[in-house]
Structure 1
Amino acid sequence: MRPFTAPGRPHRDDVLIAASGLLGGVLLWFLGLHGGPPLLGLPAQLALLALAAMSGAELLRRTAPGTALAIGVAAMVLDVLCGTVIATVLMFTDVIYAAVMYGTPAAARRIPRACALVTVLATLLPVALLRAPEALLIGVAVGVGTVGPAWTAVLIRDHRDAAQAARLRAEQTALLAELDRREAVLVERARMARELHDMVANHLSAIAIHATAAQSLDDPAATGDALGVIRENSVQGLAEMRRLIGLLRDAGAQDAPAVTPRLDALDALLERARGHGAGSGLTFVLVDERPPGCPALAAPVELAAYRIVQESVTNALKHAAPGEVTVRIGRTDGALSLAVTSPYDRRPGPRAPGSGAGLVGMRERAALLHGTFDAAPDGDVWRVRATLPADEKEAAS
């Protein structure tokens, strides 16, 4: 059972309607502009009581439309028995309209049907009892006073609900668009962070390693070589930083051709790594097991593969023990396989500081292409393995 709740404060417009109806009905009563004689011997003054009750129902038309309709029906019956005041009838039609407009969905469905049923009965019964054509006017009057306002409210309510549903859909669409925009911004930020890290970390790691060597060496020639390497990597890193910033600032950068690193550039990458790792006892070997005549890979696959190898080589320069670093590339069954192995050094700290984002970036690159990635120690070897789809359609999906 639903708990009873007292109706809220009447709306200002409802107060005006109730007051106007009450004052207008009283004025019509004293001017003698009311219906015929009372029925069942009731005093005619009871019509004023029905008028006051209908005015009270108007005060509840928005806050308690069901209660207002119940009061209005009782007041209307009393008004008909006491001679009928036109103001009471007009307010009753408004009470029916408000009950459908502001009532529950169930009430909005049932009230128009009930009004239609009452109209049919008010048409058939007088015709059957009076057996005169004029009796049809009673049904017409009842239909105008009940069915008319009820179905008018149905049409307006349906239009209002449709407008509210449209506004809700528009708000939901705007919210989804905003969420999509934020997601796109986050994805783009992550992409830029990976690109910035992969482009610059290699050069900065080489600078840090050679700067440490220059500080610890007393040989002027070796110190000069280290400073030369530092200068070369500084210039290259600065150039790549400027290129990335230019791409971000230039509004037409998306239409300009961008230089995308490819697997063909791994020889140059490992050649630079040999120069950086010579002082640490590191050697770098590239083993290309791809069959001859392989078609070129999609640009996203080439870029991801290059960046994964680049980050693996950078990590080897910072962390690996002296020995051989092997980069192995293969292509079988529509997949590109990458494997980078380096001597595992259990030293407490790296040769150069890092952000710890390298493994995260490599894993993200593989995941974006629906590939696999794994990096973990395997005995005395640190092994990085990645598998990327070689099919261009699969990589772009």
Structure 2
Amino acid sequence: MYRRLGRYVEVPARGAVFDGGVTAFPRPPRLHRPHREDVLIAAAGLLGGVLLWALGLHTQGSRGLTGLWVLLPLVAMSLMELLRRSAPRTALFVATLALLADQFTVGSVATIAMFTDIVYAAVLYGSPSAARRIPWGTALATVVVTVAALSWLRSPEGLFLGVVAGAISVAPATTGVLVRNHRDAAEAARLRAEQTALLAEMDRTQAVTAERARMARELHDMVANHLSAIAIHSTAALSLDDARTTKDALTVIRENSVAGLAEMRRLIGLLRESDDTDDRRPSPAPTLRALDSLVEQARTNGASSGLTFTLADRRGEGPALPAPVEMAAYRIVQESLTNALKHAPRGPVTVSLDRSRRALRVEVVSPYGDRPGPRAPGSGAGLVGMRERVALLDGEFEAGPVAADDAGGTAGTKIWRVRAELPVDEEDGAA
């Protein structure tokens, strides 16, 4: 971290980087090992060039330097083949100089062949800006070479030299552009496919989560009502040593057990995907027409607790409600009655339904306070489920204790009120 200055004094070394009191040094550039294919290309080009030199095969006859001078551009070009991927810009610059040097010798076909490969690699593996500039640069160089050759030789041979210059520069550069475009298109397609798969997985996860939440609400709303009644009456039967009370409790327990079993079978039938016959298919979801039976069942279950239940349906005549609205309203009433059976002291429980042109209002009012005698435990999942049902329909929901005089009750007391407003689309309901 430090370099010595004098005998005892140390100062930070040059190039050190300070970050939060920690001295670090910039990492030197990492030297990449040549790719295996690049090594093979360089070795093949070098051996081929040496073989052509040994056989005396040249590109320019005897015009130029002979002997070992031919091997110098060849060796330089083969070394640049090792950098065709890791440093394509440097490789192209040095290769161009080696090609120019080769023109002062008798020439080698291997040197020219390796130069075309380096031009191709510079476009394919270089930066996007280099891939755009190199084809135009080679085209401009070809034009310059053609004009210079025609001016110098003043014969059709100059045009031939221009064609050769284009073949060893423009052609590989154009090929590199085409291959690079196809590679980029394939990479973009792969990324789009991965993104599509990721979005599909996210949609699937969200759908599974939403379905699990829906089934959890259904299971809680269907079973909690019956199990709460069973828990309350079984506790009463165990705590009171009275044959009449025990018989009545067992009757209620049996009725709720049978009803809960039927609801559970309906839920299992909804979960199964089968091609059963019509008589085995699950029964349709409950609607508001079944509220009378629901309130009557609550009246039976809550009789021993001193609870009375009343249904005030002021909806009147009108188009049928959408199925999701009816289902949500039914479950809200069902869960509210279940909570009253669990927690409410003796007193009246009122269920009110009112419908306007745009919304269905559901209100359940029950006594609030300490309850004597047996009571079933609660987890709070019922309120969460009701809130979720109303939120899915973009409605409004509130639940909690309020002053009784605000709800038309006895002044100075409190009640528990559940109120939900569910939006209704008249056209959807009529359809």
TM-score (ref. length: structure 1): 0.93
The one-letter code sitting in structure 2 at the alignment partner of 1:360 is V
Q: Within the alignment, does 1:189 sit opposite 2:212 as a pair? A: yes
Query: How far does the alpha carbon of each residue in 1:34-66 deviate from its partner, in whole angstroms, 9 at most, with x for none?
Result: 124465xx6653221111110010011112211
CA RMSD of aligned residues (A): 2.2
Q: Which amino acid in the other structure matches residue 391 of structure 2? A: A
Once residues 326 and 136 of structure 1 are traced to their aligned partners in structure 2, the CA distance between those partners, rounded to angstroms, is 103
Q: 1:28 aligns with which of 38, 52, 60?
A: 52
Q: Where do residues 1-397 of structure 1 align in structure 2 (5 Å cutoff)?
A: 5-34=29-58, 35-37=60-62, 44-252=67-275, 256=281, 258-290=283-315, 292-346=316-370, 351-379=375-403, 380-391=414-425
Code of the aligned partner of 1:283: T
Deviation, 1:258, is 3.7
Indicate how the Cα distance of structure 1 residues 16 and 43 shifts in structure 2: closer, same or farther if over 3 A, else same: same
TM-aligned CA deviation for residue 68 of structure 1: 1.3
Alpha-carbon spacing, 1:348–1:277, altered in 2? closer, same or farther (3 Å): closer
CA spacing shift, 1:253–1:203, aligned 2, 3 Å = farther
Unaligned runs of 5+ in 2: 1-25, 404-413
* Residues in 1 aligned to 2:56 and 2:174: alpha-carbon distance in whole angstroms: 33
- Is the CA contact (8 Å cut-off) linking 1:46 and 1:78 kept in structure 2? no
Query: Alpha-carbon deviation of 1:247?
Result: 2.4
Aligned mates of 1:394, 1:45 — CA distance in 2: 92
Q: Distance in 2 between matches of 1:275 and 1:80?
A: 109
Please say which of residues 254-263 and 327-336 is displaced more in the overlay. 254-263
> What does residue 14 of structure 2 align with?
none
Q: Deviations over 1:199-253 (max 9, x none)?
A: 1110000001101111121220111110111111111111211221122124247
Which stretch shifts more, 221-230 or 246-255? Answer: 246-255
Q: Aligned to 1:373, what secondary structure does the other structure show?
A: strand
**Partner AA of 2:377 in structure 1:** P
Moved more, 240-249 or 212-221: 240-249
Moved more, 142-151 or 207-216: 207-216
Cα distance in 2 between the residues matched to 1:3 and 1:166: 36
Corresponding residue SS for 1:45: helix
* Superposed displacement of residue 264, structure 1: 1.4
1:73-123 per-position Cα deviation (integer Å, ceiling 9, x unaligned) = 111111112221110000000000000011111111111110000001011
| 2:344–2:371 contact (8 Å) kept in structure 1 | no
1:262, distance to aligned residue in structure 2 (A): 0.9
Structure 1 residues 103, 4: CA separation in 2 closer, same or farther (over 3 Å shift)?
Answer: farther
Paired letter, 2:81 = E
Deviation at 1:19, TM superposition (A): 0.4
Question: How far off is 1:280 after superposition?
Answer: 1.1
Query: Hey, what's the Cα distance between the residues in 2 that align with 1:374 and 1:90?
Result: 82
Q: Identity across aligned pairs (percent)?
A: 64
Secondary structure of 2:103's partner?
A: helix
Shift of the alpha carbon at 1:393?
6.4
Amino acid at match of 1:335: A
Distance 1:146 1:7, change over 3 A: farther
Higher helix share: 1
Per the normalisation by structure 2, the TM-score is 0.86
Quick one: distance in 2 between partners of 1:281 and 1:165?
A: 71
Paired residues in the alignment total: 391
Greater mean deviation of Cα atoms: 87-96 or 327-336: 327-336
Question: 1:384 is aligned with what amino acid?
Answer: V
